[in-house]
Amino acid sequence: MDPLPDHVCAPGIHMVRIDEDIVILAVIHDRYAALVGAADHLVLGPGGAVRVTDAVQADLIAAGLIREGAPDPARRSAAVARHDLVVPSAGFTPNALRAAAALTASALRFRRLSFAQMIATSPRADAPGPPVSIQDLARVMSAARAAWPWMPLDGACLQRAFQLRALYARHGFAVDWVFGVRTWPFAAHCWLQSGDRVLNDTLDRVGRYTPIMVV
């Protein structure tokens, strides 16, 4: 590839290569798209960096997908998922009652937000000190699982991840919200991770997806 001047993904645009295709997530539009066979024309790097050939540069700029600029260090990449979180079963304890109240509040908030708004405002506690222990992560998830059957406003992976991330933040725990895609057939999914540990899903399931965005 003969690279042109440095480019980056436009704000709110995320890209990932899967085989010979480039999958795009446009946050503001809550929409995915695929550039089939475009891997010969784009090289993706950290921080949203994009190198393009002259065959596609003008079209990508006109579509608002890329712009000239330097990579953004705030754009993080997901750690490769390597572990599941083992969550002990628990009854409807006072912790579960408090979790139910918090999860219900965040479910109501979820329904008032656009996709872009929930990404921009989703709380992520940046707790100081040593890493969060596996036991602490499991304790929060155990309370949430005990609360789910009593929840009046249940939802799919997007809503559950939003709710659980807010619950972890209430406890002062910073966790990553990972969005992944796969192709042929296309599917999108999201889940929570702490480092390389999957919190609210299974390693087997999330391994079928390639991360495209982490918040």
Encoded amino acid at 127, one letter: A
Tokens 């997806």 map to which residue? Answer: 209
Answer whether 24's CB lies under 8 Å from 186's CB: no
Question: Contact 14/181 with Cβ under 8 angstroms?
Answer: no
The residue among 45, 36, 34, 64 whose CA lies nearest residue 3 is 45
In sequence order, the 6+-apart residues with CB closer than 8 A to the CB of 80 are: 196
Judged on CB neighbours under 10 Å (0-12, 13-18, 19+), 166 is buried
Helix ranges, the chain (H): 57-62, 94-110, 115-121, 134-147, 157-170, 203-206
Tokens standing for residue 10: 């436009």
- Cα–Cα distance for residue pair 95/139, rounded to 1 Å: 9
The beta strands (E) that lie in 27-82 are given as: 31-35, 42-44, 49-52, 66-68
pLDDT given at position 126: 61
pTM, 2 dp: 0.92
Antiparallel, parallel or unpaired: β 83-84 and 197-198: parallel
Please answer whether residues 62 and 10 qualify as being in contact, where contact means their C-beta atoms are separated by less than 8 angstroms: no
Query: How far is Cα 189 from Cα 15, in angstroms, rounded to an integer?
Result: 15
Output the pLDDT for position 4: 45
Q: Which two tokens stand for residue 106?
A: 């965040």
pLDDT one digit per residue (tens) for the chain, 215 residues = 444 458 999 999 999 999 999 999 999 999 999 999 999 999 999 999 999 999 999 999 999 999 999 999 989 899 999 999 999 887 778 889 999 999 999 999 999 999 999 999 887 766 555 578 999 999 999 999 999 887 776 678 999 999 999 999 999 999 999 999 999 999 999 999 999 999 999 999 999 999 999 99
